[in-house]
Amino acid sequence: MSSLSRELVFLILQFLDEEKFKETVHKLEQESGFYFNMKYFEDEVINGNWDEVERYLGGFTKVDDNRYSMKIFFEIRKQKYLEALDKHDRSKAVEILVKDLKVFASFNEELFKEITQLLTLENFRENEQLSKYGDTKSARAIMLVELKKLIEANPLFRDKLQFPNLKSSRLRTLINQSLNWQHQLCKNPRPNPDIKTLFVDHSCGQPNGARAPSPANNPLLGSIPKPGGFPQLGAHGPFQPAPTPVAPLAGWMSNPPAVTHPAVSGGAIGFAAMLKHPRTPSAANPSMDYPSGDSDHVSKRPRPVGLSEEVNLPVNMMPVTYPQSHSYPQDDFHKAVARTLSQGSAPMSMDFHPVQQTLLLVGTNVGDIGLWDVGTKERLVVRNFKVWELGKCSMALQAALVKDPTVSVNRIIWSPDGTLFGVAYSRHIVQIYSYHGGDDIRQHLEIDAHVGGVNDIAFAHPNKQLCIITCGDDKTIKVWEATSGTKQFTFEGHEAPVYSVCPHYKENIQFIFSTALDGKIKAWLYDNLGSRVDYDAPGHWCTTMAYSADGSRLFSCGTSKDGESHLVEWNESEGAVKRTYQGFRKRSMGVVQFDTTRNRFLAAGDEFVIKIWDMDNTSLLTTIEADGGLPASPRIRFNKEGTLLAVSTVDNGIKVLANADGVRLLRTLENRSFDASRSASETVTKPLINPL
């Protein structure tokens, strides 16, 4: 939902509250999930309306979303259980135990057993931990204090506990303004017009029900003297619906901007045209308070709700048959496991060298980086995380590392020519290394880039100058000069942590796509004029974007908080989804990563396998199991030629899959390595010939 649609919901909530539609207002709060009414929640808890308490909560979170949500639901159901025991209603207590509390057994079996044993006691206060339990009213009050703390600490509620500061009857005011605007366009405006209906546009000189000319197209707008306006609607007057909106701009602008755009001829406004006509982001939009990267309840790379890890899941997967769209030579697919590499910690990001096709960079969940030669199976480099110059880092970073020294690699990537590579960490900094061949990597730049985690890093060549692009938990995108590390631009406008960046160019226009954790996608030029587009990504959470190898087609893959994954191709000229690829289950067990190869195929790691699509067909083409041992949502990465595919494994390793061309490439390298070693061996063992 766009930000303007979200604000409209708040206006409707205000109207419903002013008109005393009490049940309806709380239903809309719950269904929209935009505003959590703490006062209403408190009243329902104190009154013991447990079904309504859980129903209302269900609009904002589920039991397995995170540890805060789990604790909230547990405390509520435990209180309901204790009240049934206190009334000696054993059958009700057993029902609550089986239907409501059993779900927690898989997380803490001992606690569930202890709760079950309370059934055997005449008075549950005989249990030492419950000996101070008072009457029902006081117990609910004590629990409510704990619930409020949990809700306020829960990141899912962070932007939903404060209602916007609105003037009273704001929706009525907007409608009255619209009616006055429509009245200005009347050919024969009357001094005191009588409002007959709000279902059509107002017109004085035409029969009731006819529409007035659209304000957007009327050449007289602003030239007609303003006659007497409509009287303001009273607090109990007829409800007036929102005015008929001006037709929205086509293309990548999902909502009309806050400032006037220059006119663009030629019909629908396409992506390139939008970039040439910037908009200034509105400062009026209230910012949402999202947790920073240093918060201990925000994962450094968001995980699926209800799962603490994406690997080692004891899940029995039934075989799934997917429709096959086309027949392809088996040589096209990476079925063969050509290499198995033991990294030692869980790979979080991988990237093949753009020139040397068998060099693989790996970044892990403990901050390690590794450089592998897949051809020789040799790990050329391993580096543990270390801040190069701690004294030059911000106090915020130093304090964060003292509080919690654990650091993960969020992204590792080569520069376009392979002479540099960058590492984005979950704590504030990026490190840039220079690569000089073999195992020779050298420290190049260390940048204290963002407050919180650095979620993504990329390289680009705006103005023929190599730059580093980063994004982070502080809701910003930053551009750095790659030689000196000088900051060139800071792009602000996102209202949530920025999850990924995708630089590109089209028709000589250099730009950057960015995605944030509220599902917003924006595009930026290398200037200070704000974002050029603003629209919603499918899934509204963790989304990455990528172009095909030839730069002609744009794709995105995202996973929602509920685990729904979306892989789509975009129509750039219209700013709309062109096709949505099928083959994901209802609930993915991780944030799905994807990649493209050879301008032909898409791949995504999901359901313990690698899924492959033809770019031109939405049906799943095939799946690759890689001999098993993959996590729920494996990390994947193709090399530039599309002959090799690296995929992470549950045992902190990497499998490198190869198609027919990849197998031939690796065999060639093996033969060269064997010939070189044999030549060296013969040189050592060959007897010296005495020239005498």
Condensed to tens digits (0 to 9), the pLDDT of residues 456-505 reads 999 999 988 999 999 999 999 999 999 999 999 999 999 999 999 999 98
- pLDDT at position 435 is 97
- Give the per-residue pLDDT at 329: 58
Mutual orientation of helices 22-32 and 3-18 as an angle, nearest 10°? 160
Q: What is the pTM of this model?
A: 0.56
By CB atoms closer than 10 A (0-12, 13-18, 19+), residue 392 is exposed
Tokens at 461, concatenated:
């060549």
- Angle among Cα 40, 45, 50 to the nearest 5 degrees reads 110
CB 614 within 8 A of CB 600: yes
- Give residue for tokens 């990329």: 458
pLDDT number for residue 205: 63
Secondary structure (DSSP) of 378-438? EEEEEE----S-GGGS-HHHHHHHHH-----EEEEEE-TTSSEEEEEESSSEEEEEEE-ST
Mean pLDDT by 10 residues, the chain (692 residues): 83 93 93 94 94 95 91 94 93 93 88 90 90 91 93 90 91 88 80 79 62 38 38 42 35 35 32 42 37 38 36 31 46 80 96 96 96 94 93 85 89 96 96 96 96 96 93 96 95 96 89 94 91 85 91 92 90 85 79 90 94 94 94 94 95 95 87 57 43 37
Q: What is the pLDDT of residue 677?
A: 54
- Provide the 3-class DSSP secondary structure of residue 621: strand
Dist CA 327 CA 615 (whole Å): 14
Q: What pLDDT shows up at residue 3?
A: 77
